[in-house]
Chain A
């Protein structure tokens, strides 16, 4: 039996019927009993426990993972306010799901717990390929979650995924695990078995202006840049517009102009989104920023971002070593969607162009992305990214 993949979608206002409708639509295409696993990405507008109950009413036993988003993605293009469901069934590809809680206070141990969970559930004889994670996108240190996973899996084990969103509200995100709905958590799936995977991650943002050195930082909080309060960097660059920062969370403005952190050997800077500026003038970032990193303000352009998306897709395709992609997962930063405006569908078209029109595409717009670095010097070590498109292809 090959890998069977099917996708369902619903925009029903009623959460329960939206869940069951999307599930029914997907199940109809598989036509062979219960799938091995259910992935679910949904708008934050739903009543999430009703939504999951709706899915469970159709597929009661298969493991379920997923999260809320800032927009859903299928081969049909970008969606908003919808729920999308992917069912996977195969005898070659094995999946195991896990979860870790309290990301905001103990991100590292949450990551470790998740990794232990999935490894324990996976037969030792299977080749482990990659761990896909969905983490709270507002709380917690994304880098620490990865570190916690790496404590268990080793640093070179591929980790991909996206941080949960909430329709660009930046209030609360939810993670789905089995029949439960959680906050402040990370959920994940370990892919193992006789398959090939391909991973590509690119952003296309370019650095602008003078590098500033992180002179004081703790985990994901940059305290000082060049000895001055870190928030000053945006006051410098945004000018009079900075007044708006106090009205909206900084992230809504800064998301288009994140901070870039150069990493040895990598073609692109690692990007750090700024979640907010605290009362001490410190910048709270979505991922960790070590002291003495060189930081620059980054700017995006549509052409460069689309080019980067194509590159990421091509790298992922190359990873399949000539095999046909059975399914393509996409974790695409919400800032990219903002950058493209009403032309967001162009990026999905590029993925279809690279992988072929018939390949199922499934993903969401994220508040942060996880993917390994490409350069050999970094030994495929996974990092926490922002403003990035992560393409994960499974082939057989």
Chain B
């Protein structure tokens, strides 16, 4: 699950990382009031940033500077409601514009190949890390946290020196450790600060000081960790999720909508992808990826059916279940129940093999559902049914 910049910054702050103050505004009025507070606090300019979960918001015009409160209001009213890659901006972040001396990149990420937490840093901040990796891979510093002890102090020091942050060693070490701490505290699989920046600030005595701070933050959370962080669930951005996706998630299903006409209901991610691949190979277009998960019972099957049929383009359904931990008869029962209450009639091809397949076959036969033996046969039948339905429409 992705969360917005302002929420990511709150999680960093909770671990003691240096994040300059910000406010979130939902209206241009609120943005103006926020800007007034920052100007009163001595800011020369404020930055107004669209809060959307897509990259490239700066290029899309979603990040702008304002020199006085009226201008902040004007900019906020332009950004709020703006469409960035199909997502409407509903919130903006307002903060004092930083006087940046130098920008860096720092992130902590789950490295699946190594099975460890990987800390990455680069002195080329403000640029996407993929770009640095492609153009100047030597500029990226990497260190793996110890799998049992976490990131050790000496590792953090080596990392900070290698990034060229020797002049800000204490702060850099604290931030590196803070990224790993933020990951662990929230079950995040990515915590990214880009840019991490040395900024010039004037302290209370009027002296200019340089300080290392987190100017932007991006965090993605491990979905498997969310059940033990109910507070983080409230950070889910409703715009990041279509209604069908939400219903699927709440029912314990994994659903990804595609553009085709053949609804797919499958158990297991690999088999679900394979089912889509074979529908395509048979000349059809899958309408979705849908994994009902392991051990699905009748109610989850019924929810899956509702979600598939909610897509008006779906004109045929292919159910492919290979029972292991999932029992075929449970799925068959769910299909028959869902069939009895479904609002529109769509041809359905059912293939159930594996655990309790014989019991499932008897139930399906009794209910007169169209069945198939092999996956290739099921895909071919589903494509034919979809073509027929398409021609009739």
A-B complex is real: no
Please list the residues of chain B having a beta carbon within 8 angstroms of any beta carbon in chain A.
none
Please list the residues of chain A having a beta carbon within 8 angstroms of any beta carbon in chain B.
none
